[in-house]
Chains A and B, each alone.
Chain A
Amino acid sequence: MDNDYFSIDAILAENQKIQCTFKVDVPEVGHLGGGNDRDIKAPAKLPIPIWLAYIILLSEWADLTIPAPFGPRVRNALKAEPRSVRLSTLVGAGGLWYGFGKMIMDILDDEQANIMSDVLTKAFRGRLTEVIDQAQHFATLGASGVAGPAVDAAQSFREGLDGTERELFALAQESSKRTKRWYESHDRARQGTRR
């Protein structure tokens, strides 16, 4: 999530393209857009990988369009009910929606970045409780798993977790499993004789 050079998460989150609108003609780099044109002409819209976009945006060759995973449609859906948005489908399997958002946020100017930060933070907090609830629920279940139609909404929520939330889910599940195991263990007699 941080922009550290060595952070694997940051590299994975960078695996996205963003739409840029070119303001100037750039000669000899038409292949960037995947087309056959030799040059990029002024109002061209091209999806550019993030690592390349930084320098293009900084040199003011192009304007950034906020990518669809953070567009108004998703924002409204998040505002309505953060838990019903499937973040993973927005950024592809194993995608890091928050990481990607953080990167976009760093590119944007202050005012927009603050709005973006609000959207991300609210979404995260809105979904957090549900993540933990489900993680704890799954920690109490055996390997048998769950069945029944009542779990549909929960399952769709789980499938929609983004990479960061998955990590949290695993952490919460592991620790509550461990605590539960301790509460239920009865190896006292053995310990006592060993000491």
Chain B
Amino acid sequence: MALPPPLRTSVTPQELELIASEQLVEILPLITMEKTAFISGAYGPLRPPAKCRIPLWMAVNLKVKKKCHIIPPDWLNVEFLQERLSRETSYPEFSQMPFRFAEIAKAILDVAPDDIQNADKVRSLLKDLREARQAKSREGLAKLDHSELSLPNSCSMEINELRPFFIHAMGVLTQLSREGEDRAAAQP
């Protein structure tokens, strides 16, 4: 194992962010650019004031250079998040969110808070949402079993946070439980 110990257990949040950067977002370009070929595909052309869909990493890059406005995805606004948060706190299961919402939201909020209406409110809603969901994954823990754990609708960042230790705990439980199948067969 050539990897340093912290990298062995799981993917890092930074790597997840990198993966999420491949997703397309809409932007409002401020510069003109011909259609350009990248490894992941050809994007463009950018012709203001026409909107264009490009990968998040490119949008972030352009935004940092003040060459575009990012149009936030339809779930990144106060009303939507408010609604999800109230659903999150009133039902026991995870509410449905885009799989990589945490990474995308952070990337956009970091570079383009001026493109989002009421960015501070959005930020605090995301934080509340995260805490509500964390409480749920904690409850899911009590149901941990040696063979499976089902947490539908949890998102990549949440799964990643739990992964190293869930794997280990399940490994221990597998060792501690005696051949589950024979016992289950013998019991009924």
Question: Is there an interface contact between B175 and A178, defined as CB atoms closer than 8 Å?
Answer: no
Q: Known contacts A188-B107, A189-B111, A192-B60; can you find 7 more A-B pairs with CB under 8 A?
A: A121-B176, A133-B138, A168-B172, A176-B161, A178-B12, A191-B60, A195-B61
Within 8 A of B (CB), among A148-192: 164, 167-168, 171-172, 174-176, 178-179, 181-183, 186, 188-189, 191-192
Question: Is there an interface contact between A175 and B164, defined as CB atoms closer than 8 Å?
Answer: yes
Q: Tally of A-B residue pairs with Cβ under 8 A?
A: 101
Q: Mark B94-108, 1 if CB is under 8 A from A, else 0.
A: 000000001000110
- Chain A residue nearest to B142 (CB atoms) is A129
Q: Mark B158-182, 1 if CB is under 8 A from A, else 0.
A: 0011111100110111011110000
Which one, A102, A125, A188, A191, contacts B175 given CB within 8 A?
A: A102
Report the bound CA distance from A132 to B168 in whole Å. Answer: 12
Question: Is there an interface contact between B64 and A128, defined as CB atoms closer than 8 Å?
Answer: no
The interface residues of chain A lying within 8 Å CB-to-CB of B141 are 128-129, 132
Chain B proximity of A91: nearest CB distance (Å): 15
Report the bound CA distance from A167 to B168 in whole Å. Answer: 9
Question: Is there an interface contact between A188 and B64, defined as CB atoms closer than 8 Å?
Answer: yes
The interface residues of chain B lying within 8 Å CB-to-CB of A128 are 141-142, 144, 169
Tell me if B10 is interfacial: C-beta within 8 Å of chain A. Answer: yes
Chain A facing B: main interface SS: helix
Report the bound CA distance from A193 to B63 in whole Å. Answer: 10
Tell me if B14 is interfacial: C-beta within 8 Å of chain A. Answer: yes
How many residues of chain A have a CB within 8 Å of chain B? 38
A interface residues with partner B (beta carbon < 8 Å):
1-2, 98, 101-102, 105, 113-114, 117, 120-121, 124-125, 128-129, 132-133, 135, 164, 167-168, 171-172, 174-176, 178-179, 181-183, 186, 188-189, 191-193, 195
Which one, B57, B138, B172, B183, contacts A1 given CB within 8 A?
A: B172
The interface residues of chain B lying within 8 Å CB-to-CB of A193 are 64
Question: Is there an interface contact between A168 and B111, defined as CB atoms closer than 8 Å?
Answer: no
Chain B facing A: main interface SS: helix
Report the bound CA distance from A101 to B178 in whole Å. Answer: 12
Chain B proximity of A193: nearest CB distance (Å): 6
Which one, B57, B110, B163, B178, contacts A113 given CB within 8 A?
A: B178
Question: Is there an interface contact between A168 and B169, defined as CB atoms closer than 8 Å?
Answer: yes
The interface residues of chain B lying within 8 Å CB-to-CB of A98 are 172, 175-176
Question: Is there an interface contact between A183 and B57, defined as CB atoms closer than 8 Å?
Answer: no
Tell me if B6 is interfacial: C-beta within 8 Å of chain A. Answer: yes
Report the bound CA distance from A73 to B58 in whole Å. Answer: 64
Report the bound CA distance from A192 to B177 in whole Å. Answer: 50
Tell me if B157 is interfacial: C-beta within 8 Å of chain A. Answer: yes
Which one, B61, B142, B168, contacts A171 given CB within 8 A?
A: B168
Question: Is there an interface contact between B64 and A189, defined as CB atoms closer than 8 Å?
Answer: yes
Knowing A114-B183, A117-B176, the reply to whether A188 touches B13 (Cβ < 8 A) is no
Tell me if B9 is interfacial: C-beta within 8 Å of chain A. Answer: yes
Which one, B13, B102, B111, contacts A192 given CB within 8 A?
A: B111
The interface residues of chain A lying within 8 Å CB-to-CB of B175 are 1-2, 98, 102
The interface residues of chain A lying within 8 Å CB-to-CB of B130 are 183
Chain B proximity of A138: nearest CB distance (Å): 13
Chain B proximity of A176: nearest CB distance (Å): 6
The interface residues of chain A lying within 8 Å CB-to-CB of B9 are 171, 174-175
Report the bound CA distance from A174 to B12 in whole Å. Answer: 11
Within 8 A of A (CB), among B11-53: 12-14, 17
Knowing A1-B172, A114-B183, the reply to whether A179 touches B160 (Cβ < 8 A) is yes
